[in-house]
Amino acid sequence: MSAQLLLKDRPQLVSKQALPLKKADIAKDFQAVLSQYARAFDAGSTLLIEGEACKAVFVQMDGWMHLSKSLEGGQTQIIEFVLPGDVIDASSADGSTASGTLETLTCGRVSVVPRHIWTALLRERVELHRFAQRMDAARQARLVERMLRLGKGSAEMRVAYALIEFLMRLDGGGVRPQSRFRIPLTQQQLGDYLGLSSVHICRTLRRMVRNDVLDVRDHMEVQINDMDALVALSGLDRQAFRKAIVTRQF
Amino acid sequence: MSAQLLLKDRPQLVSKQALPLKKADIAKDFQAVLSQYARAFDAGSTLLIEGEACKAVFVQMDGWMHLSKSLEGGQTQIIEFVLPGDVIDASSADGSTASGTLETLTCGRVSVVPRHIWTALLRERVELHRFAQRMDAARQARLVERMLRLGKGSAEMRVAYALIEFLMRLDGGGVRPQSRFRIPLTQQQLGDYLGLSSVHICRTLRRMVRNDVLDVRDHMEVQINDMDALVALSGLDRQAFRKAIVTRQF
DNA sequence: CGTCTCATTGATCCGCCTCAATAGCTGTGG
DNA sequence: CCACAGCTATTGAGGCGGATCAATGAGACG
């Protein structure tokens, strides 16, 4: 896996991703707590298994992960991708077991904060609590937006949606999105995210390339050529989307 | 719409639903706040429209509602059903606009608590805060469980899942679920929940009836005959499910 | 009794899945 | 250096699950 390379050849993006929270606005003790529990990970490791004990909150610092859930038949659905800056609490309603399986897609760093520490942090820092709430609302909005398309949308709509979601999350909801970015996913994984087979992901991407909407180079390096067309395909209201889906401001 | 009837002819269920929180455990001021903001609603009214202002939290006291989201083409996906005892905060990441459209399915009562009041309540009552967190985790678990099936499951699996979800939510996660219950939904609405056409919902239910898994009488009165078969169809682990999906204990 | 809504059933169609074969790329060992 | 294996993308062929269209019941209601 060329995860290292993946991140290495876009240094400006990486640095932006690695510190999505504005340093100046965050108390030093928060940063200290995060780095205290920080650990590095490789691509392809499993951090959490569905149903097993989980008493920590994950704050992603660098790299990609995904949280997934499976049917007994081996069918896997990716619930969400975890990008730098994301906070994920994978515990289920009982508060102590993991609601899904957490696996890394690239190498990177994550801060694994024990729940009671995290809770205490939130309690004593109101602005952090509010930030966490907004992050959570944004996460939920993405989940719902995708569910809408799983239920009612075509393959083309789902893929277009996912690309725009990645695009916007990667550049932190900036006003001028990059039109070129790399997704550290196989088509199989993208399919598991969108409820499609890898074969159909491939065909759908090919069709978009044929229609000059975008280009795809080696292993999911995407270049958007016609953003308006992509947005139209996705069925998104661009304004509303940016507001609802992305939260990176502390 | 015979919503009134719907609720009237199963009094024992209604009374259980109407007060899912154990009264004894809840401070009187909480109950007081809820009743202060309580209002009745009819079947078929719209309480909230996607994108419009929303500065309140809804605590369902009696009756059913649903929260939905639409594609411009008029395609609607029901995000969740709101049952008595549910707390729903429909605000999006910006904290002030509704993330979906909230409509009532039956008549009933709901407490519309202004957000700042709700927030204050949670802050001063730790156990209420924890309860709200568990409710939210359970809601999320249901969402994810359904998304897994939207992405990877057959129509039969989705319908079986939904029936079991309703069953367990209606009897509050009790150990001995009722095998007979009424769902105040049209097949169209159930389809909008599961990403299926109403026609296919009908066919799927008919097949289950033919296979002696269940019976359906007038307008969605369901009688489960073979719970094991239904659970098998749903792809659920029953134990794990009850724990993760339902939260009614305060 | 006419209307309206909803469930039911049949017929047909199509989007996506599955299976299968090929090709390209990467890493590995001889 | 080549040969090989492993993995992913690509493309074709064929099949199926569920959508769509359409017609008929069947209650509920005015």
% of residues, chain A, pLDDT over 70: 82
Provide the β-strand partners of residue A48: A102
CB contact at 8 A, A72 and A184: no
Q: Span B203-229, mean pLDDT?
A: 94
Long-range contacts of A198-206, Cβ-Cβ distance < 8 Å, separation of 24 or more: A200/A155, A201/A155, A201/A159, A204/A155, A204/A156, A204/A159, A205/A159
CB contact at 8 A, A33 and A113: yes
Q: Span A215-231, mean pLDDT?
A: 92
Lowest mean pLDDT among A1-5, B77-81, B89-93, B163-167: A1-5
According to the model, what pLDDT value does residue A29 have? 76
Q: In this structure, what DSSP letter does residue B24 have?
A: G
Instruction: Categorise residue A39: left if φ over 0, alpha if ψ from -120 to 50, beta otherwise.
Output: beta
Q: CA–CA distance from A183 to each of A46, A76, A96, A221, B97 (Å)?
A: 19, 19, 32, 6, 31
Burial of B202 by CB count in 10 Å (0-12 exposed, 13-18 middle, 19+ buried)? middle
Tell me which chain A residue has its CA closest to the CA of residue B69.
A148
According to the model, what pLDDT value does residue A7 have? 32
Taking an 8 Å cut-off on Cβ atoms, the answer to whether A77 and B152 are in contact is yes
Residue B250, pLDDT > 50, answer: no
Q: Is A132 helix (H, G, I), strand (E, B) or coil?
A: helix
According to the model, what pLDDT value does residue B171 have? 77
Question: Which positions on strand C lie below 7 Å from a protein C-beta?
Answer: 5-11, 15-20, 25-27
Q: Span A29-46, mean pLDDT?
A: 91
According to the model, what pLDDT value does residue A139 have? 93
How confident is the model over B110-154, as pLDDT tens digits?
Answer: 999 999 999 998 888 888 888 898 899 999 999 999 999 999 999
Amino acid B199 CA to nucleotide C12 C1' distance, rounded Å: 15
Lowest mean pLDDT among A146-160, B3-17, B212-226: B3-17
**φ and ψ of A113, to 5 deg:** -95, 125
Tokens read off for A29: 């003790």
d(CA A104, CA A61): 12
Tell me which chain A residue has its CA closest to the CA of residue B157.
A71
How confident is the model over A200-216, as pLDDT tens digits?
Answer: 999 999 999 999 999 99
According to the model, what pLDDT value does residue A140 have? 94
d(CA A29, CA A20): 17
According to the model, what pLDDT value does residue A240 have? 62
Residue among B97, B148, B193 with most chain A CBs within 10 A, to mutate: B148
Handedness of CA A85, A144, A153, A70 (dihedral sign): positive
How confident is the model over A73-113, as pLDDT tens digits?
Answer: 889 999 999 999 999 999 887 778 899 999 999 999 999 99
Do the strands B101-104 and B46-48 form a parallel or antiparallel pair, or are they unpaired? antiparallel
According to the model, what pLDDT value does residue A10 have? 33
Question: Which positions on strand D lie below 7 Å from a protein C-beta?
Answer: 7-13, 17-22, 27-29
Taking an 8 Å cut-off on Cβ atoms, the answer to whether A151 and B235 are in contact is no
Lowest mean pLDDT among A123-137, B31-45, B106-120: A123-137
Residue type, A105: L
d(CA A204, CA A154): 10
According to the model, what pLDDT value does residue B174 have? 57
Amino acid A1 CA to nucleotide C28 C1' distance, rounded Å: 15
Q: In this structure, what DSSP letter does residue B106 have?
A: S
According to the model, what pLDDT value does residue B136 have? 92
According to the model, what pLDDT value does residue B176 have? 60
Q: Find the helix or strand (DSSP H, E) in which A110 lies.
A: strand A108-114
Q: Span A225-243, mean pLDDT?
A: 83
Q: To the nearest whole number, what is the mean pLDDT of chain B?
A: 84
d(CA B66, CA B46): 10
B79 vs A contacts (CB less than 8 Å): 144, 147-148
Residue that wins the pLDDT comparison between A241 and A62 = A62
B147 to chain A, any CB pair closer than 8 A? The answer is: yes
CB contact at 8 A, A98 and A40: no
Q: Is A50 helix (H, G, I), strand (E, B) or coil?
A: coil
d(CA B182, CA B160): 15
CB contact at 8 A, A150 and B71: no
Q: Is B11 helix (H, G, I), strand (E, B) or coil?
A: helix
% of residues, chain B, pLDDT over 70: 82
According to the model, what pLDDT value does residue B124 have? 84
According to the model, what pLDDT value does residue B179 have? 86
Q: How many residues does chain B have?
A: 250
Taking an 8 Å cut-off on Cβ atoms, the answer to whether B141 and A93 are in contact is yes
d(CA B7, CA B15): 10
Distance, C-alpha A66 to centroid of its chain:
7
Minimal C-alpha gap between A93 and chain B (Å):
5
According to the model, what pLDDT value does residue B94 have? 77
Highest mean pLDDT among A176-185, A237-246, B173-182: A176-185
Distance, C-alpha A143 to centroid of its chain:
11
Residue that wins the pLDDT comparison between B226 and A18 = B226
According to the model, what pLDDT value does residue B241 have? 61
According to the model, what pLDDT value does residue A6 have? 31
Q: Span B151-161, mean pLDDT?
A: 97
How confident is residue B238, by pLDDT bands cut at 50, 70 and 90?
low
Provide the β-strand partners of residue B91: B98
How confident is the model over A4-16, as pLDDT tens digits?
Answer: 323 333 333 333 3
Residue A247, pLDDT > 90, answer: no
Q: To the nearest whole number, what is the mean pLDDT of chain A?
A: 84
What lies within 8 Å, CB to CB, of A177 at 6+ separation is A167, A168, A171, A227
B134 vs A contacts (CB less than 8 Å): 93, 95
Provide the β-strand partners of residue A38: A111
- Residue indicated by tokens 């029901």: B78
Q: Find the helix or strand (DSSP H, E) in which B144 lies.
A: helix B126-152
